Amino acid sequence: MALLVPCFVSATYGAGGITQADTLSTVLRLKQETGLVPTVHLTCVGANREEVDDFARRYWDAGVNHIVPLHDDFSTGTTDYTSRPGGYTYASDLVADLHLIADFDISVAACPEIHPAASSPEARLRTH
């Protein structure tokens, strides 16, 4: 991929948050062993705030400063999200806290149509 000189490469956090440690390891290898600029997904799923914030700090300390915070990244067959006790409920909360941790470059993702979990077209426009 380095031969194509991409602006960045994106690494997913893993559906359901199940591969957080593997993602961190992969991103650190990309950063250390290639000239590629890694961008990481960080989801609210599968960890409490403290654990998510710790991953963010570890990325920052390793020189990975571009994050794509996501609300959910469901495992196959899962369509509902409930935050873990002490976890993030909304990606907007994660974005706000990331700014408190470090001066990350943050990109956000959104559904161009109605999110599958929205109860109506109007509901998708509501904020919490």
pLDDT tens, residue by residue, 38-76: 888 888 777 789 988 998 999 999 899 999 888 765 544
Residues 6+ apart with CB under 8 A from 89: 44, 83, 128
Ramachandran angles phi, psi of 26, nearest 5°: -65, -45
Higher-pLDDT residue of 87, 66: 66
Q: Can you give the residue ranges of every domain in the chain?
A: 10-125
* CATH fold of 10-125: TIM Barrel (3.20.20)
Tens digit of each residue's pLDDT (9 = 90 or more) over 1-47: 778 888 888 887 655 555 666 778 888 888 888 888 888 888 877 77
* Contacts (Cβ under 8 Å, ≥6 apart) of 32: none
